[in-house]
Structure 1
Amino acid sequence: MKIAFFSTQSYDRKYFDQVNRHYGYELLYFEASLNEKTAILAEGCQAVCIFVNDQANALTLENLHKLGIRNIVLRCAGFNQVDLEKTAALGMRVLRVPAYSPESIAEHALALILTLNRKTHKAYNRVREGNFSLQRLTGFNISGKSIGIIGLGKIGLAFARIMQGFGCRILAFDPFTKDVPAYIELCDRDTLFEQSQIISIHCPLNADTKHLINAASLAKMKEGVMLINTSRGAVIRTPDVIEALKSGKLGYLGIDVYEQEDKLFFRDLSESVIPDDQILRLMSFPNVLITAHQAFLTHEALTEIAETTLSNLKSIVEGRENPNQVSNGF
């Protein structure tokens, strides 16, 4: 089988080539993201492999279908970038990686919390410049704080275990989860907003969660709340978060995802003019920490992503059913 990989980075090639030794597929790597114009690059392939910011919309899917491609594999858990109604109409299979080292995402969320709180990034830069002052580096104890978790999938549960170890009260909202460990308090969304001092988002992006964090939900939160997002950028309505930062309602913001990241992330723009005023405004706040969608970037996660993706392809070759198929929207 010949597969076209879009939006590839050096680490994609490294880990997929390593795992592919056991499969023997022909892998073609493209740095370009998938869209209706770049779909032609997959000519001669039997499948395409895409990532979070590739766009498998109706027109792109039609162009792939004309090339004879009937299989789309995602090397990520989310599939909001794929028009599933169109894939169903075209008879195309879509398979994803539903879970890959959930600890990697959960641990990155913790890293954002600790860095924002204890300001280690600022202390590091100060010391390198010979500044050993402790002024404006005061943080707070995480122990004893109320932590709100939105989404209790494998990542949310991994994050809950970590925060329990810090001695925190764990609140969680997930409309699809009923059976949880005793240390987790399931509650409604408003209760979580009202009682949490730190809120971490671990839900998928869909019609119900898009712009879940907006002016109305922010108004219900505690003054000076810390908000962490390692899920999908569009869960947050950025203009409302900027206003909350300006007013002081939002005391800290840590994000590894951004609604318009497809135009920014995974690129070196250090010598370019960034045309996105919203992210420039976010970067101007001293209490905002942004990482460029790197929460998944661990050896364990990258290995598992490659293994599951190529295993998904094997099930296609062998004509087997696969629980990772999402063509029907689940």
Structure 2
Amino acid sequence: MSRAILVTGADLAAPAVALLADYELVYAGTKPTEDDLVALCRRHDPVALIVRYGKVGAAVMDAAPSLKVISKHGSGTDTIDKAAAAARGVQVVAAAGANAAAVAEHALALLLACAKSVVALNTRLHAGHWDKATHKSVELEGRTVGLIGLGAIGLRFARMADAMGMRVLGFDPYARNLPAYVQAVDLATIWREADAISLHCPLTADNAGLLNAQTLAACKPGVIVVNTARGGLIDEAALLQALESGQVASAGLDSFAVEPMTVPHPFHGHPRITLSPHIGGVTTDAYVKMGVGAAQNALAVLRG
């Protein structure tokens, strides 16, 4: 029987490796292609995949006849073909919540960067400009933030926003038993009332392009948009147009429709977009938590 576990990355945190000591760990590197993964599966016939980078579809699964579980190193499983896995009796599990603190903190950092013009002011001051007499920042206390997705990340962000004195609206058809400071509303209410919108939901076929020309036009003029979830949730051309018109005041983006981001990209150099390379969940602590969570989830399935 195969004792191999294929990691679609170059490494795992030491505590995760220790948990998997009974198995042979095979690493695919940081930029594995489908052909790379198929070749490694044919060579090692893994019983489990721990997915960090790359996409896992039917061809990869078919190359690993002993495969029982695909375990995501993190919470987002949109890079895994779940229908193909279900058809082959392969369980898909995720380390939900393992990077919640990291991502929620990064979303807050992007919101603050947008509201306070942190990047633009830093650039201006380094160039010798003292803009105190001409610049006014946005005060977030008393403003309304609309959260789309109220899982572990969204709820942690909600707690921080509430602590800053913000009114918190949230949309999530699956959320139950919400804290008192989160008001459950429909999307139309978020578009109409939110001064800032932060995305914390998985990408599905139903919500791709959720923020588009029509929904952005329905938002309050001057809304701030933050996305630390998945790039496919936003129609990037529509967002750019809304920024140019002023309908969107600023955007803080950590994920993009195509990753790595294409170069050049229309967002590059835009004065009211703050960018980061999908690193919201990338902290030393989250790296350990996600690795341990992915290992534990894989073992739970392998041990029945």
Common fold, TM-score beyond 0.5?
yes
Counterpart of 1:238 (choices 211, 223, 236) is: 236
Matched residue SS, 2:174: coil
Native 8 Å contact 1:7 1:34 kept in 2: no
| Counterpart in the other structure of 2:280 | 295
Query: CA distance change for structure 1 residues 61 and 23 in 2, over 3 Å: closer, same or farther?
Result: closer
| Counterpart in the other structure of 1:16 | 13
Using the aligned pairs only, state the percent identity.
27
* Unmatched runs of 5 consecutive residues or more in structure 2: none
Distance 1:217 1:292 in 2: 25
* Unmatched runs of 5 consecutive residues or more in structure 1: 266-273, 321-330
TM-score by length of 2: 0.90
Native 8 Å contact 2:19 2:296 kept in 1: no
Distance 1:173 1:136 in 2: 37
Matched residue SS, 1:281: coil
Q: How far off is 1:22 after superposition?
A: 4.2
Q: How far off is 1:314 after superposition?
A: 1.9
Map Cα deviations across residues 245-277 of structure 1 (whole Å, 9 max, x no partner): 12111111111111111xx16xxxxxxxx55x5
Q: Does 1:2 align with 2:1?
A: no
Q: Mapping of 1:156-195 within 5 angstroms?
A: 156-195=154-193
| Counterpart in the other structure of 1:41 | 40
Q: How far off is 1:33 after superposition?
A: 2.2
TM-score by length of 1: 0.83
Q: Does 1:139 align with 2:141?
A: no
Query: CA distance change for structure 1 residues 302 and 116 in 2, over 3 Å: closer, same or farther?
Result: same
What is the RMSD of the two structures over their aligned residues, measured on CA atoms?
2.1
| Counterpart in the other structure of 1:74 | 72
Task: After superposing the two structures, state which structure 1 stretch, 22-31 or 286-295, moved more.
Answer: 22-31
Distance 1:172 1:178 in 2: 12
Distance 1:146 1:7 in 2: 39
Native 8 Å contact 1:40 1:64 kept in 2: no
Map Cα deviations across residues 33-60 of structure 1 (whole Å, 9 max, x no partner): 2414542123213322213x52222233
Matched residue SS, 1:113: helix
Q: How far off is 1:211 after superposition?
A: 1.0
Distance 2:291 2:207 in 1: 28
Matched residue SS, 1:175: coil
Q: How far off is 1:131 after superposition?
A: 4.3
Aligned residue pairs total 298
